[in-house]
């Protein structure tokens, strides 16, 4: 069930009504209801893979409880590895098995050994990379004694399967989300209204920006050889906007939906395209995943408190693993590697440190220096995203090569020129709205502070009208495949 | 919670009421415009039907005839269209209605309420009477957004191009340098007459409205002649026998006057690859053949 589907438009009000009106008095029933609703939500896609969620839930619940009472270091480590093996094992089988088999076969063929590999003919369960990482973080936190394991299985199951963020994040930490399942919730008007506002903006980003950009991205990336350098650049630019609109749109809808149920999820995107360098970009892009890798991979490896060589190694490991998390393809690995290359000089020259405020804080426009920084960071991002979208490495290198070698001028004649122009105008409107709202949690955050209700309503109606008029119909979210 | 529900209700009620009001005014206004679908006074004969008529009768060669064919037009829409045209044009004396074997097939039902029908049927929305408007809305509920978009588009088209309303159709043939092709013909036959290798059922809905057209013409004292547009020989020999029989039966039972344009031999380059539509050249020859026939019947 997609957030941008009619099914969800029916599902959400039903779940919302039952959740607040019928079950608001009993926390246990409320949590159980969330678990059932979440399983229904997931089953809409494929009920058979519920078994994987259940396995992950039960293993980590049991491991968490046992870990806490266990003081023997060896046994504790064994329990942690049990959880890691189960979760990463599920991922390995469903997501990476074929990749490894095919690459080993290719590697052996170089030495003249011919192999007939047995690849698996299975589909990738939606959201597998998200909920396995979420449950893993729980066990690791319990192991590190940062968190007391919960005794409440229903609350834990709700934490793992919470439907707004089940299939594409944000990847929540137990330290943040689990206590919310254990505390009594009451309806919060302001939170719910802000949730709706955030959902609306997320829907706009997805169906208006991402899905309209997708039309040109698919056309250009599938016919790379036919287009001029300028058009290929437009294709790369549109893909960058598409993936941002798609994924941050999903995150906004997820966070907004959770707010309707009285939950606060972590902010997953914080206007990343207004970053002044790549370090800032990674503090603003897919925050829940980058902080996950920081806390559970980078820091355990020694972080940046080691020799320069080891720090650089750690950075490359984190970015390459992060790329590989996105998909079993060399293109993602190179994408991750490129970002590591972007990051290392900043670390070396200590330019990676956190800026206190968002760019041009309290001002309407950035300074020239800031403008140049934003544009150059964005250009690097666009370049890396070509690898993210390309079918394979040959395609990516061909694409980049063509941008610089083919005649630059001569924009492609798209079938529907009017639609292309409308899309371009909508992108400009979108960027302006994001810029104006960059100091809030989401672009429409500040609108809540506008006292004049008719003005607020007019803005909402305008966005709804644009969604209805220019939005595309029920396109799948890109991050569902991860 | 109560405040939240109230605010939500108000938020949605305002635009729904406003849009409903505006839509009602818009529909009423365009429907009024559509009533005035008057044709030039010298036009006494009209050609109604689907793409076969639309592509076959080049009315620039006719002195008092006008092609009003529309692609994928079913008799349900033809009936309402004829009714509307006769009401606005007393001078129409004769109607030529496209009637070929494929018009009997249930595959035609898809053009009324099947998948993709919303794109084809929106242009008729405004000329339909109110109860049929509601019926059309009901049939297209599966695709509300695209249907509403296309009826708004059709309405705007009516405002801009009146009295050349979209539902009136007209001759349009840009097919050149094409010819009938065995593979496409076989595919076409399968699509029109077969479903999973079995002959398709007849479209009782279409047949019912054909009979309504016959009754309407009788009531209005307008002469009705059905036209079978040419189709390629390779196409003709593959039409299921049940369709041939049903076709003859309908002609006989309703005492219909028929012009069979298939009786004139046409070369392969007069047909599009599917074998049942004509190219520009085919349309030219067919219209000339039709004129010959008309002058032979009425000396």
* Stretch A393-417: mean pLDDT: 80
Cross-chain residue pair B1–A187, CB shorter than 8 Å: yes
Asked if residue B12 is part of any domain, the answer here is no
User: Average pLDDT in the A171-197 region?
Assistant: 91
Among B12-21, B109-118, B168-177, B280-289, the least confident range: B109-118
Would you list the domain boundaries of chain A?
6-186, 190-276+355-481
Nearest CA among B80, B78, B98, B111 for reference residue B192: B111
Instruction: Determine, for residues A461 and B1 on separate chains, whether the beta-carbon distance falls below 8 Å.
Output: no
Report yes or no: B270 and B285 within 8 Å, Cβ to Cβ: yes
Interchain CB contacts (distance < 8 Å): A and B = 19
Which chain A residues contact residue B4 at CB under 8 A? 187, 189, 192-193
Residue B197 to residue A174: CA distance in whole angstroms? 58
Percent of chain B with pLDDT over 70: 98
Higher-pLDDT residue of A475 and B43 is: B43
What would the mean pLDDT of B266-290 be, rounded to a whole number?
92
Other beta carbons within 10 angstroms of residue A428's beta carbon come to 10
Residue B179 domain-assigned?
Answer: yes
**Inter-axis angle of helices A417-436 and A211-222, nearest 10:** 120
Alpha carbon distance A180, A174 (integer Å): 9
pLDDT category, B162, cuts 50, 70, 90?
confident
The fraction of chain A above a pLDDT of 70, given in percent, is 94
Which chain B residues touch A if contact means CB-CB below 8 Å?
A: 1, 3-4, 7, 11, 14-15, 145-146, 149
CB-based contact (8 Å) between A461 and chain B?
Answer: yes
How remote is the C-alpha of B5 from its chain's centroid? Answer: 47
Does an H or E element contain A409, and which? none
The answer to whether the Cβ–Cβ distance between B145 and A473 falls below 8 Å is: yes
Q: Coil, helix or strand for B94?
A: strand
User: Which has more pLDDT, B162 or B234?
Assistant: B234
Asked whether residue B195 is assigned to any structural domain, the reply reads: yes
Block residue for tokens 């079978």: B228
d(CA A168, CA A250): 7
d(CA A260, CA A267): 16
- How many domains in chain B? 1
Asked if residue A478 has pLDDT above 80, the reply is no
B22 inside domain: no
Q: Mean per-residue pLDDT for A193-210?
A: 94
**Res A90: pLDDT:** 83
Q: For chain A, what percent of residues have pLDDT higher than 90?
A: 41
Helix (H, G, I), strand (E, B) or coil at B226: strand
Contact A262, A363 (CB under 8 A): no
Domain that residue B266 falls in: 49-297
pLDDT tens digits, residue range A154-180?
A: 999 999 999 999 877 799 999 999 999
Q: Of A39, A43, A31, which is closest to residue A158 (Cα–Cα)?
A: A31
Lowest-confidence segment of A236-250, A294-308, A341-355 by average pLDDT: A341-355
Rounded CA gap, B53 and A475, in Å?
39
Average pLDDT, chain A: 86
* Alpha-helical regions (H) of B96-240: 110-113, 117-121, 130-139, 144-161, 182-193, 204-220, 233-236
For residue A473, the chain B residues in CB contact (below 8 A) are 145-146
User: Which residues 166-205 of chain A have a CB within 8 Å of chain B?
Assistant: 187, 189, 192-193
Tokens of A115: 């192999």
- Residues from chain B that touch A21, judged by Cβ atoms under 8 A, are 1
Asked if B3 lies within 8 A of A189 by C-beta distance, the reply is yes
Segment B197-224 shows an average pLDDT of: 93
Question: Is the model more confident about B136 or about A1?
Answer: B136
Q: Is residue B1, in this structure, part of any structural domain at all?
A: no
Rounded Cα distance, A58 and A75, in Å: 19
Backbone angles phi, psi at A314, to 5 degrees: -60, -40
Q: Which of B1, B12, B149 to mutate to test the interface with A (most CBs of A within 10 A)?
A: B1
| Contact residues, chain A, for B145 at CB < 8 Å | 468, 473
A47-50 long-range contacts, CB within 8 A, separation 24+? A49/A125, A49/A126, A49/A128
Dihedral of the alpha carbons of B81, B87, B90, B96, in degrees to the nearest 10: 20
Does the annotation count A73 as an active-site position? no
Q: How confident is the model at residue A37 (pLDDT cuts 50, 70, 90)?
A: very high
Average pLDDT over residues A289-315: 88
Predicted confidence at residue A474, as pLDDT, reads: 59
Q: What is the pLDDT of residue A449?
A: 77
Per-residue pLDDT, averaged over A319-331, amounts to 86
Peptide bond into B207 cis (omega under 30): no
* Structure tokens, A473: 């119909």
Give the contacts of B223 (CB within 8 A, at least 6 positions apart). Answer: B93, B94, B95, B217, B257
Angle, in degrees to the nearest 10, between helices A368-389 and A393-405: 130
Express each pLDDT in A112-152 by its tens digit.
777 777 766 677 777 888 888 999 999 999 998 888 899 89
Does position B163 have pLDDT exceeding 60, yes or no? yes
The pLDDT of residue B298: 56
Interior angle at CA B117, CA B197 and CA B34, nearest 5: 140
Condensed to tens digits (0 to 9), the pLDDT of residues B19-71 reads 899 989 999 998 888 888 889 999 999 999 999 999 999 999 999 999 999 99
Is B192 domain-assigned?
yes
pLDDT tens for A231-241 read 899 999 999 99
**Cis upstream peptide for B163 (omega within 30°):** yes
Lowest mean pLDDT segment, chosen from A240-254, A320-334, A439-453: A439-453
The confidence score (pLDDT) of residue A481 equals 55
Predicted pLDDT at A413: 64
* B246 exposure class (CB count in 10 Å sphere: 0-12, 13-18, 19+): middle
Check whether A72 has a pLDDT greater than 90. no
**Which listed residue (A73, A176, A286, A326) is catalytic?**
A326
Distance (Å, whole) CA A282 – CA A280: 5
Q: What is the pLDDT of residue B86?
A: 94
- The sign of the CA dihedral B267, B270, B272, B276 is negative
* Confidence at A378, pLDDT banded by 50, 70, 90: very high
């Amino acid at each position: 069930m997609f957030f941008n589907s009619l099914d969800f438009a029916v599902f959400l009000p039903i779940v919302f009504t039952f959740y607040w009106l019928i079950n608001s008095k009993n926390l246990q029933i409320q949590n159980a209801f969330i678990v059932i609703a979440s399983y229904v939500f997931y089953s809409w896609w494929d009920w058979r893979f519920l078994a994987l969620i259940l396995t992950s839930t039960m293993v980590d619940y049991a491991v968490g409880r046992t870990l806490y009472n266990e003081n023997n270091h060896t046994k504790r480590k064994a329990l942690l590895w049990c959880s890691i093996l189960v979760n990463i094992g599920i991922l390995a089988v469903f997501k990476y098995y074929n990749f490894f088999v095919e690459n080993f076969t290719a590697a052996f063929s170089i030495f003249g050994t011919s192999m007939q590999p047995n690849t698996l003919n299975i589909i990738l369960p939606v959201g597998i990379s998200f909920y396995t990482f979420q449950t893993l973080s729980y066990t690791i936190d319990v192991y590190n004694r940062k968190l007391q394991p919960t005794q409440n299985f229903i609350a834990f199951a709700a934490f793992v399967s919470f439907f707004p963020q089940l299939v594409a994040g944000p990847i929540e930490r137990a330290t943040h989300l689990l206590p919310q399942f254990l505390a009594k919730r009451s309806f919060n008007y302001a939170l719910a209204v802000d949730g709706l506002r955030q959902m609306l903006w997320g829907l706009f980003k997805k169906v208006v920006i991402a899905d309209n950009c997708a039309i040109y991205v698919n056309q250009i990336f599938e016919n790379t050889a036919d287009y001029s350098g300028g058009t290929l650049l437009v294709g790369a630019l549109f893909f960058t906007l598409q993936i941002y609109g798609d994924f941050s749109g999903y995150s906004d809808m997820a966070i907004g939906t959770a707010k309707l149920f009285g939950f606060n999820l972590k902010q997953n995107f914080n206007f990343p395209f207004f970053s002044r360098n790549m370090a800032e970009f990674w503090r603003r892009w897919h925050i829940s995943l980058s902080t996950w890798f920081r806390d559970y991979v980078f820091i355990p490896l020694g972080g940046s408190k080691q020799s320069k060589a080891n720090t650089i190694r750690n950075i490359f490991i984190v970015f390459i693993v992060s790329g590989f998390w996105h998909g079993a393809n060399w293109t993602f690995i190179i994408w991750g590697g490129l970002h590591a290359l972007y990051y290392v000089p900043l670390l070396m020259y200590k330019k990676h440190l956190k800026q206190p405020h968002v760019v041009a804080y309290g001002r309407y426009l950035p300074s020239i220096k800031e403008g140049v920084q934003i544009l150059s960071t964005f250009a690097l991002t666009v370049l890396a995203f070509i690898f993210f979208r390309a079918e394979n490495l040959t395609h990516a290198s061909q694409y980049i090569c063509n941008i610089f070698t083919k005649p630059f001028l001569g924009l492609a004649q798209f079938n529907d020129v009017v639609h292309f122009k409308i899309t371009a105008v909508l992108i400009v409107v979108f960027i302006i709205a994001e810029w104006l709202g960059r100091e809030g949690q989401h672009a429409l955050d500040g609108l809540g502070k506008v006292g004049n209700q008719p003005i607020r309503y007019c803005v909402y109606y305008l966005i709804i009208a644009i969604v209805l008029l220019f939005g595309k119909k029920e396109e799948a979210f890109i991050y569902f495949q991860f | 919670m109560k405040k939240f529900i109230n605010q939500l209700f108000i938020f949605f009620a305002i635009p729904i009421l406003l849009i409903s009001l505006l839509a009602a005014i818009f529909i009423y206004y365009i429907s009024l415009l559509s009533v005035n679908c008057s044709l030039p006074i010298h036009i006494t004969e009209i050609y109604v039907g689907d793409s076969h008529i639309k592509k076959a009768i080049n009315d620039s060669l006719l002195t008092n005839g006008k092609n009003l064919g529309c692609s994928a037009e079913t008799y349900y829409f033809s009936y309402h269209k004829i009714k509307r045209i006769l009401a606005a044009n007393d001078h129409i004396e004769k109607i030529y209605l496209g009637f070929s074997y494929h018009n009997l097939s249930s595959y035609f039902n898809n053009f009324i309420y099947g998948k993709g029908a919303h794109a084809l049927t929106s242009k008729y929305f405004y000329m339909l009477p109110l109860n049929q408007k509601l019926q059309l809305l009901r049939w297209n509920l599966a695709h509300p957004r695209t249907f509403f978009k296309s009826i708004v588009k059709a309405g705007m088209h009516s405002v801009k191009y009146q009295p050349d309303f979209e539902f009136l159709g007209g001759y349009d043939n840009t097919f050149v340098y094409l010819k009938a092709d065995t593979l496409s013909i076989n595919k076409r036959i399968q699509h029109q007459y077969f479903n999973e290798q079995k002959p398709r059922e007849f479209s009782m809905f279409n047949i019912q409205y054909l009979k309504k057209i016959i009754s309407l013409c009788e009531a209005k004292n307008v002469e009705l002649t059905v036209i079978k547009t040419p189709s390629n020989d390779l196409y003709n020999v593959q039409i299921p026998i049940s369709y041939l029989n049903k076709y003859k039966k309908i002609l006989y039972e309703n005492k219909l006057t028929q012009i069979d344009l298939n009786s004139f031999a046409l070369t392969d380059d007069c047909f599009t690859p599917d074998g049942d539509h004509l190219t520009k050249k085919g349309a030219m020859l067919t219209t000339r053949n039709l004129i010959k026939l008309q002058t032979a019947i009425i000396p």
